[in-house]
Amino acid sequence: MEIPRIVLGAARSSAGKTTVSSGLMSAFVKRGLKVQPFKVGPDYIDPSYHSIIAGRHSRNLDTWLTSKEIVPDIFFHASRGADIAVIEGVMGLYDGKDDTGTGSTAEIAKLLTAPVILVVDVRHVGTSVAAEVLGYQKYDLKVNIAGIILNKVGSKKHETMTKKAIERATSIPVLGALPREENIEMDERHLGLIPTHEHKTDQQVSAVTSFIKDHVDLTKIFEIACSAPKLIPPKRSIFSPKKRKDGREIRVGVAFDEAFNFYYWDNIELLETKGCTVIFFSPVNYKSLPPDLDMLYIGGGFPELFTEKLQENVSMRKAIRKAAEDEMPILAECGGLMYLTRSIKDFSGRVYEMVSLISGVTVMSKKLTALGYTSCLLLKDSLLGKKGMRIRGHEFHYSFIDPETLPNDTEYVYQVEIGKGINEKKDGIVVHKTVASYSHTHLACREDLVDELILSAERYAKS
């Protein structure tokens, strides 16, 4: 299967990958191309920008969250009908979970035999940048660094000096040089980029697109993408449609609005391919849950920014609590966990009432409280599987559940083997058939995970 593709990597974090990736995607769209965006690693916010720009849902490629077998499957499934796939990397090119580069941009590039365009920040360096690029080229000869984009160039002289040095030392062509323009960079918040729901995305993307078009050789980059070798599709796909034998519709309510929008889109599609009907609803704006639901999925997001509206929507909070008390299975992750607690104390110390399904109080912190991959051992049977199974995920938040507000008999479904969790290496608070955790889970981390979720919904539907 021929899928033109490129990976946007960088020498280090904050080198400009997101700005360049977003600009390239938008520029290719304006040329009439169908662009399929991807993001390496466990990230929700960059993909939300990608999706708006490309008009196609961006997907995450992560060998830790899923596996080396599943990543190509996700890539093929998402790239159907696309003219080019643009993959934004994570951190530095070779940075991953460990010193072997698990989950790194380089690993994904090799797995998909995709050429890499390396974004290099040259703010504080001249000719010496050639040695840096040469090192990246030589570090792993299986990684095809096919082009360089210079970022933060100080002058035309600076551009010429660094370009000539790199091309002389490495023979890798410099495909663009971006001058120092602070006003076109993506804004940031405490969890990274500002969420697209509250950002003037169109204006900023338009500025970034013009910037990229003026300073980057788009034609050459597309030619490099087309030079990627043919890929062989996997023999079996986790996205193969599956009809329900009993013919009954399983209805899954998914919270999706300005407060809750952190989802791996593959999770949504995996539910759908297994025969579920996904119904989106808004805890902020809807007064009641959609009718006849068999399960709720409340993902992450920024509920701390919408605490007043969430508090005011009393009828929705009561509806979710009643659904839980009626033993409806509910999967809540990070922001969803926070919403299900008794209250959220914001950054200013103000307290807002939430669903009160969980007795604990969420407290916002100005410091990062957890960041990284997670691996959790199931301590008991739950909607996510049987006791003894393991689930991989990631956590990234600026909040904690005050342990003093949690009852001594609080039940947890996870023993956290990698990561922090909610309280003393425990995560996944269990109330009725609800599991609420700080850990975000990609449903492809285990092939049977979606089936376990749907089985819980089926049991509820038959009760």
Residue 286 and residue 221 share a domain: no
Q: What's 182's domain CATH number?
A: 3.40.50.300
| pLDDT at residue number 372 | 92
Distance CA 377, CA 402 (A): 23
- The answer to whether position 244 is within a domain reads no
* Residue 226 appears among annotated catalytic residues: no
| pLDDT at residue number 242 | 78
Residue 261 and residue 204 share a domain: no
Q: Would you call 452 exposed, middle or buried from its count of C-beta atoms within 10 A (0-12, 13-18, 19+)?
A: middle
pLDDT in tens, 332-377: 999 999 999 999 999 999 999 999 999 999 999 999 999 999 999 9
Residue 221 and residue 267 share a domain: no
- The answer to whether position 65 is within a domain reads yes
Indicate whether 386 pLDDT > 70: yes
What letters, b where the CB count within 10 A reaches 16 and e where it falls short, cover 65-74? Answer: bbbeebbbbb
Residue 407 and residue 302 share a domain: yes
- The answer to whether position 242 is within a domain reads no
Does the pTM exceed 0.85?
yes
Residue 222 and residue 258 share a domain: no
Q: Per-residue confidence at 195, pLDDT binned at 50, 70, 90?
A: low
Residue 218 and residue 255 share a domain: no
The CA-atom distances, in angstroms, between 126 and each of 6, 117, 137, 343 are 27, 20, 18, 53
Residue 199 and residue 316 share a domain: no
Q: What is the DSSP letter of 233?
A: P
Given the structure tokens 């590039």, which residue do they identify?
109
Per DSSP, what are the bridge partners of residue 61?
Answer: 40
pLDDT in tens, 24-38: 999 999 999 999 999
Closest CA relative to residue 338, chosen from 364, 316, 377:
364
Indicate whether 14 pLDDT > 90: no
Residue 39 and residue 162 share a domain: yes
* Enclosing domain of residue 124: 5-226
Domain tally for the chain? Answer: 2
Average pLDDT over every residue of 272-279:
94
Higher pLDDT, 191 or 138: 138
346 close to 364: Cβ distance less than 8 angstroms: yes
Sheet containing 116-121: give its strands across.
59-61, 35-40, 84-88, 5-10, 116-121, 145-153, 174-179
- The answer to whether position 239 is within a domain reads no
Q: Per-residue confidence at 192, pLDDT binned at 50, 70, 90?
A: very low
- The answer to whether position 233 is within a domain reads no
| pLDDT at residue number 206 | 84
Indicate whether 181 pLDDT > 90: no
Average pLDDT over every residue of 133-149:
97
- The answer to whether position 397 is within a domain reads yes
Higher pLDDT, 208 or 196: 208
Indicate whether 188 pLDDT > 80: no
Average pLDDT over every residue of 427-454:
94
pLDDT in tens, 279-337: 999 999 999 999 999 999 999 999 999 999 999 999 999 999 999 999 999 999 999 99
pLDDT in tens, 71-93: 999 999 999 999 999 999 999 99
| pLDDT at residue number 184 | 63
Residue 279 and residue 133 share a domain: no
Q: Per-residue confidence at 197, pLDDT binned at 50, 70, 90?
A: very low
In 3-state terms the chain splits into helix, strand, coil percentages (rounded to 5) of 30, 25, 40
Residue 321 and residue 215 share a domain: no
Q: What is the DSSP letter of 38?
A: E
Distance CA 59, CA 46 (A): 10
Residue 368 and residue 448 share a domain: yes
DSSP string covering 262-331: E--HHHHHHHHHTTEEEEEE-TTT-SSPPTT-SEEEE-EE-GGGSHHHHHH-HHHHHHHHHHHHTT--EE
pLDDT above 90 coverage of the chain, percent: 82
Q: Which two tokens stand for residue 283?
A: 């805890």
- The answer to whether position 240 is within a domain reads no
Average pLDDT over every residue of 98-106:
91
Q: Which two tokens stand for residue 146?
A: 């096919």
Higher pLDDT, 182 or 268: 268
Residue 406 and residue 319 share a domain: yes
Q: Which of 226, 276, 334, 376 is catalytic?
A: 334
Indicate whether 452 pLDDT > 80: yes
- The answer to whether position 231 is within a domain reads no
Q: What's 456's domain CATH number?
A: 3.40.50.880
